[in-house]
């Protein structure tokens, strides 16, 4: 609130900020318009004076510039006249120098012609001498080249004769070598033929001995002899070919049946390479009737499955006249998987073949076992990863909800603070305007146009008015 004293009645009264500001505005606007009008008139007078001064100054500078140009033109004319005289003198001197140089060049040209003629005569004489010397040198070089050509022809004939002799020697050597190779071939063919004839004869003798032995043995003796034969043959090479192999009779009859022999071989790490169930059958195992190999395949497959063997092999002397079984190793996969029928002479070869084949696949078996173990680890890892992802997702959802709530609260706080800030800024702006208006208020402005108030303030300024106090 502001307290104002009336200049007419001397009564004091109070007004609010708005009223006080309105009074100040009225006082200031009138004074401002008057001052602005006075300043515009003063500025207009200053402008006219400046224009007149600039015009006078420009006229004086133009006169000075014209006088300077006239002096410069006179000076250039004088220099031009002096230049014409100097140019004429220079032309005269240049012509004299050119004429002297022309005479000197003419004399030098005449002398050069004389020197050239003398030099040409001397050069011609020298050239004739050089041609004569060159011709002699060419003749000598031609004679030398002819001699070299004759020597080359002689050397060529000698080289041809020597090459022909060498080729004839090589031809004779190849011919004798070919004859020797042909003879060696014939001898090798004869030796190979004799070797195979001997092997065939030995095999025929062995077959005959076996047939004779079977004919002279009883049923029990023939069966035991075949098993003993196979076991003896295997033990003979066990230490060299199968040092870690297991080859024993199958004595486990808990399932109701059993095979004759089980073969298992392992590597250094104990991993099984191959396993074979063996069954030995001969012609005299059934005395009443003659059996076939197929009669024992089903039981052999059952024994192989119950004892966990990979392969099954029937070592048989049955059907001695059957060309299929007499030809060698017979694969009966069309009846039962991984099953073979062999004669006793192929007992060891079938073990070797199956074991070598298994050795080739052992690497893949090991890799397969490793892959399976890795798959188990990967499955376990994926399960743990899914569990972790589910737990992480739940925690993320909870954290995200709390985060969104916090963001909403922060936004509300920001809105509230922004409103508070705007209110404070408005208050500050009003206070600044009020302060500017208060600072702009003076006694002179308040009493302008108000002689009563001016007289009152003048009395207050008289000296000694408040001395008694």
For 241-299, write each residue's pLDDT tens digit: 899 999 999 888 777 778 889 999 988 888 889 999 999 998 664 455 678 899 999 99
Cα radius of gyration (the chain) = 69
Q: Model-level pTM greater than 0.85?
A: no
Q: What's the pLDDT at 422?
A: 80
CA-CA distances (angstroms) from residue 407 to 410, 414, 421? 5, 10, 20
**Tens-place pLDDT, residues 443-468:** 677 667 777 777 777 776 666 544 44
Q: What's the pLDDT at 262?
A: 95
Q: What's the pLDDT at 268?
A: 84
- Mean pLDDT confidence for 107-134: 71
Strands 261-266 and 246-249, bridge-based pairing: antiparallel
Q: Is the separation of the CB atoms in 312 and 276 below 8 Å?
A: yes
In angstroms, the CA 292 to CA 283 distance is 9
Q: What's the pLDDT at 336?
A: 95
Q: What's the pLDDT at 362?
A: 75
Which of 21-35, 141-155, 214-228 has the weakest average pLDDT? 214-228
Q: What's the pLDDT at 235?
A: 93
Going by pLDDT thresholds of 50, 70 and 90, the confidence category of residue 219 is very low
Q: What's the pLDDT at 246?
A: 94
Q: What's the pLDDT at 184?
A: 81
Which of 242, 319, 254 is CA-nearest to residue 283?
319
**For all residues of the chain together, what is the average pLDDT?**
77
Which of 108-117, 166-175, 283-292 has the weakest average pLDDT? 283-292
- Mean pLDDT confidence for 163-172: 76
- Mean pLDDT confidence for 27-33: 66
- Mean pLDDT confidence for 68-76: 73
Going by pLDDT thresholds of 50, 70 and 90, the confidence category of residue 213 is low
Which of 115-119, 228-232, 267-271, 299-303 has the weakest average pLDDT? 115-119
- Mean pLDDT confidence for 191-219: 70
Q: What's the pLDDT at 461?
A: 67
């Amino acid at each position: 609130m502001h307290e104002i004293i009336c200049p007419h009645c001397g009564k004091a009264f109070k007004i609010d900020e708005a009223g006080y500001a309105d009074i100040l505005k009225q006082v200031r606007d009138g004074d401002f318009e008057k001052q602005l009008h006075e300043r515009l008139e003063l500025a207009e007078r200053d402008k006219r004076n400046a224009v007149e001064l600039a015009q006078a100054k420009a006229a004086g500078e133009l006169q000075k510039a014209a006088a300077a140009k006239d002096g410069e033109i006179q000076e250039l004319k004088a220099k031009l006249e002096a230049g014409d005289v100097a140019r004429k003198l220079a032309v005269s001197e240049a012509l004299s120098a050119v004429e002297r140089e022309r005479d000197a060049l003419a004399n030098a040209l005449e002398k050069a012609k004389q020197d050239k003629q003398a030099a040409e005569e001397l050069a011609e004489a020298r050239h004739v001498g050089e041609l004569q010397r060159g011709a002699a040198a060419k003749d000598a070089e031609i004679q030398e080249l002819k001699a070299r050509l004759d020597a080359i022809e002689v050397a060529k004939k000698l080289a041809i004769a020597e090459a022909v002799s060498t080729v004839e020697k090589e031809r004779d050597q190849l011919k004798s070598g070919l004859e020797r190779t042909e003879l060696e071939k014939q001898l090798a063919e004869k030796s190979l033929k004799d070797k195979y004839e001997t092997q065939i004869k030995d095999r025929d003798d062995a077959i005959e001995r076996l047939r004779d032995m079977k004919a002279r043995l009883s049923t029990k003796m023939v069966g035991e002899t075949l098993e003993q034969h196979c076991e003896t043959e295997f033990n003979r090479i066990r230490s060299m070919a199968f040092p870690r192999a297991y080859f024993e009779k199958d004595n486990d009859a808990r399932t109701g049946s059993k095979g004759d022999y089980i073969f298992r071989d392992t590597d250094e790490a104990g991993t099984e390479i191959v396993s074979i169930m063996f069954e030995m059958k001969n012609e005299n195992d059934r005395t009443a009737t003659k059996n076939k190999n197929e009669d024992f395949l089903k039981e052999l497959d059952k024994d192989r499955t119950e004892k966990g063997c990979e392969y099954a092999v029937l070592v048989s002397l049955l059907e001695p006249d059957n060309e299929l079984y007499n030809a060698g190793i017979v694969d009966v996969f069309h009846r039962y998987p991984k099953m073979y029928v062999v004669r006793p002479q192929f007992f060891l070869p079938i073990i070797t073949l199956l074991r070598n084949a298994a050795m080739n696949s052992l690497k893949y078996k090991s890799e397969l076992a490793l892959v399976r173990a890795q798959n188990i680890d990967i499955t376990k890892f994926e399960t743990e990863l899914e569990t972790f992802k589910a737990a992480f997702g739940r925690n993320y959802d909870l954290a995200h909800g709390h985060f969104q709530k916090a963001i909403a609260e922060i936004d509300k706080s920001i809105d509230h603070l922004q409103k508070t800030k705007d209110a404070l800024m408005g208050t500050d702006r009003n206070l600044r305007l009020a302060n500017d208006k208060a600072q702009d208020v003076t006694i002179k402005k308040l009493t302008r146009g108000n002689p009563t108030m001016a007289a009152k303030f003048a009395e207050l300024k008289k000296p000694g008015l408040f001395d008694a106090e």
